[in-house]
């Protein structure tokens, strides 16, 4: 029996359908009734950055996102600027401190540009918080209503790894551009063709030995289930290694791979992140596109840098045999450094940017799924070798 799926507010605005989402992010049928902490989907990724005014321009000009809302001194918010950007169902909120005493600046001083909040849309904030509290979660904000002329939003927040939080948002009674306190704002430029449509997953890097604890947190507190597991040797190079497990919400819209460093001969990419982010945090965001070639070309033209993939990756006969037939000639992928992985369900195309800020911390992945619900396990080896060459160039390996 097909179970009725709900579109999120953002997906409706982006005119995305369930079939498209099934293809883009591997949405699955699921019965919300038995879920102690039902999650509809992503609400927003909230960043603290050193210069939100310039970051907002970067994500518009390079990533093709659209400015939709704003909060700042002109709207009565004297603490910080906040720009709300959209691409398809993806919403970023970029915050930069104005008042020298702003907490946004404290966060930035410690962590550099990073993600402070992975906000989730839920149908019942109070039910989620009741369950989370009973399971021992840290409730940072009790459920409360915020209201303006566009209606009412119910919000609460719980703590997750590091200084990251999950704000829970019920916007079913709200029609404004983002949240009360924000005003609609556009760039005035004609909208561009979208470069990505949805958020596929957000990866968290956690401390050595604590991955299972955080997997347990998502099981117990948020009712998430395990997807894939990659452990130890699965993703070890000669020098460094990591362990990774993936948890997902019931409908698989929200997927959280969690990494911890594993022992290697040298410092792993997770250790480097933890050192430069000053603790656990969100490592990468995977943006789902239905045309990764066009997206990569557009981003590269705008100056976004991607991790190079060695030519040997494409000429390796074992890899060619494993990949099989994909929708474009391998040469097209090789020209852009796009990776391919295949499993029993299908294949996926993926590529990773270099870190987007000054610190070697947060970066992006672009992903085009064709049936595969995986995360590119088969590419980890080739990819990590490429990442380690980059670490060595920075003198951190
Ligand atoms: Fe990923």
- CATH superfamily of the domain spanning 198-393: 2,3-Dihydroxybiphenyl 1,2-Dioxygenase, domain 1 (3.10.180.10)
Banded model confidence at residue 230, pLDDT cuts 50, 70, 90: low
What is the maximum span of the chain, computed from C-alpha positions, in angstroms? 62
387 vs 19 pLDDT, higher one: 19
* Lowest mean pLDDT, pick from 100-109, 126-135, 149-158, 220-229: 220-229
**Span from the CA of 16 to the centroid of ligand 1 (angstroms):** 22
How big, in percent rounded to 5, are the helix, strand and coil portions of the chain? 30, 30, 40
The residue among 41, 32, 34, 38 whose CA lies nearest residue 10 is 41
Does residue 34 register a pLDDT over 90?
Answer: no
Q: In what order do the strands lie in the sheet with 281-288?
A: 225-230, 241-248, 255-262, 198-205, 281-288, 363-370, 346-352, 339-343
Token pair, residue 217, equals: 């947190």
- Please report which confidence band the pLDDT of residue 233 belongs to, taking 50, 70 and 90 as the band edges: low
Name the residue among 119, 118, 94, 120 with its Cα closest to residue 108: 94
Q: Compute CA distances 60 → 11, 55, 128, 316, whole Å.
A: 19, 9, 34, 38
Residue 359 has pLDDT above 70, yes or no: yes
pLDDT band at 366 (very low <50, low <70, confident <90, very high): very high
CB count, 10 Å around CB of 321? Answer: 8
* Ligand 1 centroid, distance to 256 Cα (angstroms): 9
Mean of the per-residue pLDDT values for the chain? 91
Measured between alpha carbons, how far is 119 from 125 in angstroms, rounded to an integer? 12
The DSSP element (H or E) to which 293 belongs, if any, is helix 292-301
Neighbouring C-alpha atoms within 13 Å toward the C-beta of 381: 9
d(CA 82, ligand 1 centre) in Å: 27
Q: For residue 3, how far is its CA from the centre of ligand 1 (angstroms)?
A: 28
Distance (angstroms) between ligand 1 centre and the Cα of 377 equals 9
Give 238's pLDDT tier (boundaries 50, 70, 90): low
pLDDT at position 308: 87
pLDDT-wise least confident of 34-43, 105-114, 257-266, 302-311: 257-266
Percent residues over pLDDT 70 in the chain: 93
Task: Give distance in angstroms: CA of 362 to centre of ligand 1.
Answer: 12
Q: What is the CATH number of domain 9-184?
A: 3.10.180.10
- Domain residue spans in the chain? 9-184, 198-393
- 321: pLDDT confidence band, cut at 50, 70 and 90? confident
**Ligand 1 centroid vs 127 CA: distance in angstroms?**
30
What's the 381 CA to ligand 1 centre distance in angstroms?
A: 14
Ligand 1 center to 375 CA (angstroms): 6
Distance 201 CA to ligand 1 centre (A): 7
**Helices 380-393 and 269-276 sit at what angle, rounded to 10 degrees?**
50
Q: Which two tokens stand for residue 254?
A: 């929200």
Q: How far is the CA of 81 from the centre of ligand 1 (A)?
A: 29
CA 24 / ligand 1 centre spacing (Å): 14
Q: How far does the centroid of ligand 1 lie from the alpha carbon of residue 365, in Å?
A: 6
The alpha carbon of 175 and the centre of ligand 1 are apart by a number of angstroms equal to 32
With a pLDDT cut of 90, the percent of the chain lying above it is 69
269-63-162 Cα angle (round to 5)? 40
**Ligand 1 centroid from CA 151, angstroms:** 36
What is the value of pTM for the model shown?
0.93
9-184 and 198-393 agree in CATH topology: yes
pLDDT at 137: 98
- Whether the CB-CB separation of 350 and 339 falls below 8 Å is answered with yes
Distance (angstroms) between ligand 1 centre and the Cα of 364 equals: 8
Long-range contacts of the stretch 228-233 (C-beta < 8 A, 24+):
228/373, 228/374, 228/375, 228/377, 230/375, 230/377, 230/380, 232/262
Q: Which residue has the tokens 């915020």?
A: 146
Kindly report the backbone phi and psi dihedral angles of residue 309, in degrees, each rounded to the nearest multiple of 5, phi listed first. -110, 130
First to last CA, the chain: 52
- pLDDT at position 212, please? 93
46-90 residue pLDDT tens: 999 999 999 999 999 999 999 999 999 999 999 999 999 999 999
Cα 257 to ligand 1 centre (Å): 8
What is the rounded CA–CA span in Å between residue 86 and residue 139?
A: 28
Concatenated DSSP letters of 3-58: PPPPPPHHHHHTT--HHHHHHHH------GGG-SS---EEEEEEEE-S-HHHHHHH
Q: What is the pLDDT of residue 322?
A: 78
- CA of 230 from ligand 1 middle (Å) equals 12
DSSP code of 193? P
- Condensed to tens digits (0 to 9), the pLDDT of residues 92-111 reads 999 999 999 999 999 999 99
Read off the pLDDT of each residue in 284-311 and give the average, rounded to a whole number.
95
Query: If you measure from the C-alpha of residue 353 to the centroid of ligand 1, how many angstroms do you get, rounded to a whole number?
Result: 11
Give distance in angstroms: CA of 134 to centre of ligand 1.
31
284 Cα to the center of ligand 1, angstroms: 7
Question: How many CB atoms lie under 10 A from the CB of residue 210?
Answer: 15
Distance 301 CA to ligand 1 centre (A): 23
For Cα atoms 158, 289, 327, give the angle at the middle one, nearest 5 degrees.
140
- Cα 53 to its chain centre, rounded Å, is 21
Output the CA 287–ligand 1 centroid distance in Å.
9
């Amino acid at each position: 029996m097909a179970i009725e799926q709900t579109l999120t507010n953002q997906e409706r605005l982006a005119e995305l359908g369930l079939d498209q989402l099934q293809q883009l992010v591997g949405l699955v049928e699921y019965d919300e009734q038995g879920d102690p902490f039902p999650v509809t989907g992503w609400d927003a990724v909230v960043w603290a950055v050193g210069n939100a005014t310039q970051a907002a321009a970067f994500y518009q000009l390079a990533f093709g996102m659209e400015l939709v809302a704003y909060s700042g001194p002109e709207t009565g918010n004297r603490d910080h600027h906040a720009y709300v950007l959209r691409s398809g169902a993806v919403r970023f909120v970029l915050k930069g401190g104005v008042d020298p005493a702003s907490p946004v600046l404290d966060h930035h001083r410690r962590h550099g540009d990073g993600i402070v909040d992975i906000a989730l849309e839920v149908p019942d904030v109070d039910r989620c918080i009741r369950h989370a509290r009973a399971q021992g979660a840290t409730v940072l904000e009790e459920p409360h209503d915020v209201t303006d002329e566009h209606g009412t939003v119910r919000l609460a927040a719980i703590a997750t790894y590091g200084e990251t939080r999950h704000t829970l948002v019920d916007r079913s009674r709200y029609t404004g551009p983002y949240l009360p306190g924000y005003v609609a704002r556009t760039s005035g430029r004609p909208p561009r063709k979208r470069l990505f449509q949805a958020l596929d997953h957000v990866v968290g890097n956690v401390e050595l030995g604590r991955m299972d604890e955080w997997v347990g947190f998502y099981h117990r507190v948020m009712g998430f289930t395990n997807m894939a597991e990659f452990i130890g040797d699965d993703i070890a190079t000669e020098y460094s290694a990591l362990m990774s497990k993936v948890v997902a919400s019931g409908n698989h819209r929200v997927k959280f791979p969690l990494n911890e460093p594993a022992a290697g001969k040298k410092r792993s990419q997770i250790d480097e992140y933890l050192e430069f982010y000053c603790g656990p945090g969100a490592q990468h965001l995977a943006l789902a596109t239905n045309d990764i070639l066009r997206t990569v070309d557009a981003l590269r033209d705008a100056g976004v840098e991607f991790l190079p993939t060695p030519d040997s990756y494409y000429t390796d006969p074992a890899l060619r045999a494993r990949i099989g037939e994909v929708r474009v000639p391998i040469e097209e992928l090789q020209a852009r450094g796009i990776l391919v992985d295949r499993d029993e369900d299908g294949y996926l195309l993926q590529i990773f940017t270099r870190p987007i800020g000054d610190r070697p911390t947060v970066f992006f992945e672009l992903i085009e799924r064709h049936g595969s619900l995986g995360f590119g396990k088969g590419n980890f080896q080739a990819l990590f070798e490429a990442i380690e060459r980059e670490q060595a160039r920075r003198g951190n390996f």
